[in-house]
Every structure is written in structure tokens, then in C-alpha cells.
Amino acid sequence: MIPSTSTNVDHLTMTHLNALEAESIYIFREVAESFENPVLLYSMGKDSGVMLHLARKAFFPEKPPFPLLHVDSTWEFREVIEFREKYARQQLGLEVLVHINQEGVEAGVNPFDYSSRIYTDIMRTQPLKQALTQHRFDAAIGGGRRDEERSRAKERVFSFRDNNHRWEPKNQRPELWELYNTWVHRGESIRVFPLSNWTEFDIWQYILQENIPLAPLYLAQSRPMVKRSGDWIMVDDDRMRLELGEQPVMKQVRFRTLGCYPVTGALESQAGSVAEIIDELVHSSASERQGRAIDRDEEAAMERKKREGYF
């Protein structure tokens, strides 16, 4: 579906990956210089991996001058948490804040008994807002890309949020050139998307080019899976509730996105390296959000979640 990668146009202009990289670095530096208390939202996914890499480039030889924040729904893949600890904390020595909505945990909110709308609100949106408020972050850098979903295509690179973290899509600040309007009053904040102009394909090509470390879930492996509502769901730990007649089977699968494991669909794949993933992508016919139940629960689901403060 995406054209072959065999072309080799000898161009004097920057290649598109260099151009995207430079644009993102510029954005990271603007955030660091324009806000008092920025934070990088870090989910350990592939986009997060690219963001962290770009942040390291932007401030080299310094470390990124802001902490990472992981909003932990408590239903992450185990491997993802392990990656956070080993890579971001230990290997890079970065400050990683972890925030969990304790009220949600105590109320027993889980992705089995609750609709995705309520579950996502309580275990993702609310704790994100709690953490931003608690630490008084005035800028939160996220990995959203405009190619992901229709309402994201309309989002600014520097996206204003009122003091209740709400997005007002019809009243966004005009965003001209690279002159980002970074003025906020107390309590207001800006969500910043340095990967706005990247596509999923760019992300993979860049990961390949830069050899960026990733959680192994992105690569095909034999994993214990069950088929549920058309999606392959991984049985990651013993909290997974099997429905009547479900029996985990070992399947060679990989993930295109990493969310809460009980609601994140995998695809059957043989791609064991980033290069093979790119080859598969070239021939793929499904979008990466295909495995995301939360986008499908209603018309304009993402837009509504975003208005309420979801990323």
C-alpha cells in the first residue's frame, strides 16, 4: 500500500526524515525555553521511544531538562513496565514519574467490567489530569500524530487546554510558521505534539535508521492469545478473565500499538525485526488503530475524549 522503498532520488534538499527530525527538535527546544514546568508523557510505546530519542538529540550534550511521566492504568503489559525501568530509568538515568489513579484501583475499575469509555476515563484521562494538576505542569509533551485519527488531524502542534484541561476544537489558536503561541495563564496548559507531522511509516523508518530501542512486544513472537470480538488479545498475567469457551493458544503475533493489554489487539505476523515490520507495513491494509477498541465505541469517540482531557 505504501510504495516500495527502493527509490533513491539524489536530492540536494533534506530528506523527509531529516526534515521531520529537525522540526521536532525545534519543538522540544521551544517547549523547554517557553514553559516553567514541562513534562514528557512517556508510555514506552514506539512513538514515545521516538520522542525520547528526539528529546535526547535536542538537548545533547545535556539530558532532557524535564521529567518523564507515565500514567499507569495498572493494566499495562508487564514487558512495558520492565522496559521503562531498564531503559529510561537505569540505562538513561532519567527521572520517571509514575501516576496511578488510586481511587480507580480501590473502586476496582477494570477493562472487563467497565465499558471502554468509563474505563479509559477513570484509568487514563482522570489520572493524567490529576498528575498534571498535582505537579503544576504547564506543558505536557505527547506523541500524538495527525495521521492517527480524524480529530487528531485537526490538532495544533501546541494545543491549548483551559484550566480544566479541556480542548476546544472550534476555538484553537491559529498556528503560523514555527511561531508557536506559548502564552498561558496560571492553571492553563499546552499539550505539545512534536510528532504531529510524522506518519506511522515515518516512525518505523526512523526507528530503523536510528536503531531506537523498543519493547519486544512490537516484534513477532509466540505469545499466549485468545480471540475476542475479532481481535487477538494476549493473556499477559493471571488477571485476564477468560470467557466461556476461551482457551489461550500460542500464536506468532506482534503489536502495532501498546495500550492496556486486555483491550489491545495483536496481529499475526512473522516480522522479527524492524526492517521486516516495514516490509509488512508496505503490504498492510489495516490502520494501526484497527486493534484499538476505544476508538470504535462511538462516533467521534476520540474527539470527545480529547475534549475531556484525554491525550
Tell which positions 111-170 bind another protein, by CB under 8 A. Answer: 146-147, 149-154, 169-170
Q: Please, which residue, 5 or 102, has the CB nearer to another protein? A: 5
Subset of residues 32 to 61 that bind another protein, contact rule: CB under 8 A: 32-33, 56-61
SS3 152: helix
Q: How far is the CB of 295 from another protein (least distance, A)?
A: 10
Instruction: Say if residues 223 and 86 touch (Cβ distance below 8 Å).
Output: no
**100: Cα separation from own chain's centroid:** 17
Each residue 186-205 as x (binds another protein by CB under 8 A) or -, in order, gives: ----------xx-x-xx--x
CB of 74 to another protein, least distance (A): 23
Is the separation of the CB atoms in 21 and 14 below 8 Å? no
For another protein, which residue of 163, 164, 209, 270 counts as binding (CB under 8 A)? 209
Among 36, 62, 238, 243, binds another protein (CB under 8 A): 62
Shortest Cβ 6–another protein spacing (Å): 7
d(CA 71, CA 140): 12
C-alpha distances (whole Å) from 264 to each of 23, 110, 228 are 31, 14, 11
* Range list of H helices, the chain: 16-34, 46-59, 78-83, 102-106, 116-120, 126-135, 200-210, 274-283, 293-296, 301-308
Stretch that binds another protein, among 10-18, 103-111, 243-251, 260-268 (CB under 8 A): 10-18
- Residue 101: CB minimum distance to another protein, A: 27
Single out the residue of 96, 105, 219, 240 in contact with another protein (rule: CB under 8 A): 219
Question: Binding to another protein by residue 177, rule CB under 8 A?
Answer: yes
Which of 218, 273, 183 lies closest to 77, judged by CA? 218
Q: Considering only the stretches 30-38, 124-132, 239-247, 251-259, report the one whose residues sit in contact with another protein under the rule CB under 8 A.
A: 30-38
Closest approach of another protein to the CB of residue 109, in Å: 27
C-alpha–C-alpha distance, residues 34 and 54, integer Å: 18
Scan residues 74-113 and list those touching another protein (CB under 8 A): 83, 86-87, 91-92
Residue type at 163 in one-letter notation: N
